[in-house]
Amino acid sequence: MCILDKYKKDSVANSCIGYKPQSNGYLIGAENVFIQSRGTPLNPDMPKISKGSQPTDGGNLILSEIEKLELVTKYPEAESFIRRFIGSDDFINNKYRYCLWLKDVSPAQYRKISPITERIAKVAEVRRKSPTKSVQKDAEIPMLFTQIRQPESNYLAVPEVSSQRRRYIPIGYLNKDVIASNKLYLVPEASLYMFGVLISNVHMSWVRVVFGRLKSDYSYSPAVYNNFPWCSPTDKQKQQIEQTAQMILEARAKYPDCSLADLYDETTMPPELRKAHQANDKAVMIAYGFDYKTMTESECVAELMKLYQKLTK
């Protein structure tokens, strides 16, 4: 039951009604290990993960494609402070929304644009009525999101919610000018090596065991990332993961008309993308010292738990 080919049998069995993990509440065969909440990554060399920015605006800072077009047609100068706004569903399904991003923008640039000032006034009204004191306070700055976490660099985006029918959570890079909502997790300045490990079956095995669920979907959280035990690859192994990670990105790029939902549907995944993932899975497993030919998903997570124990002692 190789993890590269038979992961489904393990994950389905572990989610069946009546399944009772033996040793540690996570899986059969592992020692008594319980994952704790952490505020920083287990590996201090890895960048921190955070949620995207939260508007708390009653929808007034957010624009549909039609609303954006109407605004910039009448007020072309508004284009410079309208950004694409993207959450988990937008990211996976390639949907387009926009937001007014007025951080560091002079009021002189938008004060005479009535549709914008009207929206800002509505934001202030919504926030003043909030039961949350901090949100009420933010009514004083209605032109800004209540929580701004947008990185200054390009970043790796991890959907907060993703269908468990996919073998891999669709993770990918976004430009720093794309504003991530609080429904995406962000890893700034993430290397190709990091992308390769996080999109691999090793990390996905970890996710399937320690993640929370929203209905039947994956529900990612910082605890998954922060507690993930990274391997210590040789330079050659790291280079191989970088190469296979690049293969995944190149395979995706061959289908610019496809969303990540199209590409990661098990029935429609393009053969070159599947091949790139298989090569990446193999490279990551080798870096961990795992037998990619025979190891099951449960065995993989059991080994990760052992590594976690070692790293947290």
Name which of 81-90, 255-264, 300-309 the model is least confident about: 300-309
Parallel, antiparallel, or unpaired for β 62-63 and 161-162?
A: unpaired
How far apart, in Å, do the first and last CA atoms of the chain sit?
32
pLDDT of residue 35: 75
* Residue tagged 């039609």 (tokens): 66
- 9 pLDDT tier (thresholds 50, 70, 90): very low
Rounded Cα distance, 178 and 191, in Å: 19
- What per-residue confidence (pLDDT) applies to 15? 33
**pLDDT tens digits along 38-75:** 889 999 999 999 999 999 999 999 999 999 999 999 99
Q: Going edge to edge, which strands form the sheet with 217-219? A: 161-162, 217-219, 212-214
Please determine, for residue 22, whether its predicted confidence score (pLDDT) is greater than 70.
Answer: no
**Of 211, 206, 91, 225, which is closest to residue 159 (Cα–Cα)?**
91
Q: Where are the domains of the chain?
A: 3-50+151-312, 53-140
Quick one: pLDDT at residue 32? 60
Asked if the model's pLDDT at residue 14 lies above 50, the reply is: no
- In this prediction, residues 116-121 reach a mean pLDDT of 98
Percentage of the residues of the chain whose pLDDT score is greater than 90: 78
DSSP-assigned beta bridge partners for residue 179: 85
Determine the Cα–Cα distance for residues 85 and 62; give it in Å rounded to an integer. Answer: 8
pLDDT digits (tens, 9 = 90+) for 165-221: 899 999 999 999 999 999 999 999 999 999 999 999 999 999 988 765 556 678 898
Distance CA 112, CA 116 (A): 8
CB 59 within 8 A of CB 151: no
